[in-house]
Structure 1
Amino acid sequence: MQISQLWIVLTAFALVACALPTTNEIPTTKAGAIRVGTVTKLPGKPIETRLIHDELESRAVKHNVDCTNGSWTKTSLIRDGVEELRLKAASNMRPYLGSKKCATVACERGAAIMWCNDNDYERLLPSWHNVADGAQVILNECSMHSGDVRGTLDHNDHWRVLVGLGKC
C-alpha cells in the first residue's frame, strides 16, 4: 500500500470513528466484525470494502476442547502454570506470536502450557488472562480423577491453548 493510499484509509477510519453512534451500539456484521464502508481514493476508484477484526471483536468467542491431544501431565502443575500466567497478566504485557507459531508460556517439571497462533498474520492477545482462561477450561473439562490432564482448546479465530507433557 502506498503512502497516499494509507493516508486515505486512515482518514476514512477517522471519519468512520467520528460517525459511530455515541451509544454502546456499534454497527457490526453477524460475525461481530466492525463494518467499514467502501473507501474511495482520488480520483474516484474504490479501494475496497473491508471488515476490520480486532482481538476484542467478540466477548463470546466460540471454542472447541479436545481432551485426546497431547501427553498426560499432572493437574496440580498445570494449575500452578495458570497462576503464573495470571501473575504475568498483572504486568500488563500482552502475549504476541508470529504467524503459524507456538510458544511454551508456562512449564514446570514437564507440565507445559502452550499457545499457538494458527493465523497467517501476527497475533497480539488482549491479555495473558486469555491464555490462562484457555488452560483453565482444559483443566475443568479434561482432568482425570487420577490427577492427570491433557488437551487442546481451539478458538474459532484461529489461536489455541495446549496443555500436556512438554519440554521445559
Structure 2
Amino acid sequence: MLFVTFIVPFFVNHVLALEAPIPGYKVQEMTWKVDPFNNGTIVEITGTVQDVIAELYKINPQYLEHHFMVDDDSDKLTITHKQDNHVICNPRPGHWVHARYYPIQDGISYLRQIGGRPELSAGPGTCSRVSCSWKSAIWWCNDDDKPMSLDSFGDIADCAQEIVDICHKRDQWEFYVVGQNFNDGNWNCIVRGANC
C-alpha cells in the first residue's frame, strides 16, 4: 500500500490563526486518509472536508463523480443511527456566531460520503474543524483523556445533523443554526459560525 501526503497550502496558513471553538480547548488539524483511485494508494490530506474534496478533484476528478453525487434532497438528510446525545442550542449566547443552515447541510452531506475513520489525539478539549464553508463550521471534539477514533465521518455528520434538526432558526432571509451535541462516547460536535 502506497502512502502519499498532501498538505493543502491555504489550510496550513489559515490554521496558524485558527481559534479553538471554546476558549482553553486545543486545535488539531484533521488528516484524512483517502484512496483517490480506489486502487489501494492511500493519500493523506490535511484540512477540512472541503479542502479534501478540492485536492481530490485535482488528483482524480473522476473520484468525485463516483463518490460525491449530492442530490437535491441533501438538506433533508436523516440521522442514520440515533445516538444517546445531549444537544444544547446556542450554549454560549453572545459569544458564538450562528452558522448558515445550507453550508452546514452541505458539510454534513460531504462528511457522510468521505471514506476513512476520524482520529483525534487525547483530550479533554481537543478539537478539529472537519467542515468549514461560507462562514459556517462543524467541529469534532474529544472529551476523553486518551486518543479517539470513530467508525466513520458519518458519526460526526449524525452528531451535527441532530444540532441542525433541534437548533435551527430562521430570520426573514435565511435559516441559521448554532449548538453543541455531547455524545455518551466522550466526544462532542459543535456547529457555529467561523472565519472561512
TM-score bracket, normalised by the shorter chain, equals 0.5 to 0.7
Q: CA RMSD in A?
A: 1.4
Counterpart residue number, 1:130:
155
1 CA distance for matches of 2:135 and 2:89? 18
Q: Distance in 2 between matches of 1:80 and 1:157?
A: 25
Q: Distance in 2 between matches of 1:60 and 1:113?
A: 19
Question: In structure 2, what is the equivalent of residue 73 of structure 1?
Answer: 99
**Structure 2 spans left out of the alignment, 5+ residues:** 1-80
Change (3 A) 1:164 1:122: same
SS of 2:122's equivalent in the other structure is coil
Q: Which amino acid in 2 is paired with 1:97?
A: L
Counterpart CA distance in 1 for 2:178 and 2:133 is 15
Q: Contact (CA 8 Å) 2:84, 2:183: kept in 1 or not? A: yes
Please give the per-residue CA displacement for 1:94-135, whole angstroms capped at 9, x wherever unaligned: 000001210000100210000000100000001111000011
CA distance in structure 2 between the partners assigned to 1:110 and 1:126 by the alignment: 28
Matched, 1:140 2:168: no
Contact kept? 2:88, 2:181, Cα under 8 Å: yes
Deviation track 1:21-71 (CA, whole Å, cap 9, x = no partner) reads: xxxxxxxxxxxxxxxxxxxxxxxxxxxxxxxxxxxxxx7642100002332
The residue type paired with residue 133 of structure 1 is: D
Q: Size of the alignment, in residue pairs?
A: 107
- Letter aligned with residue 100 of structure 2: K
> Among residues 117, 120, 128, which one is paired with 1:94 in the alignment?
117
> What is the Cα deviation at residue 139 of structure 1?
0.5
**Corresponding position of 1:161:** 189
Relative to 1, partners in 2 of residues 1:77 and 1:122: Cα closer, same or farther, differing over 3 Å? same
1:145 CA displacement:
2.3
Mapped to 1, the partners of 2:145 and 2:102 lie a distance apart of 34
Distance in 1 separating the partners of 2:100 and 2:83: 28
1:73 is displaced (CA, Å) by 1.4
Which residue in the other structure is 2:85 paired with? 63
* Match for residue 150 of structure 1 among 161, 173, 178: 178
The CA deviation at 1:164 is 0.6
- Counterpart of 1:112 in structure 2 is 137
Pair member with larger Rg: 1
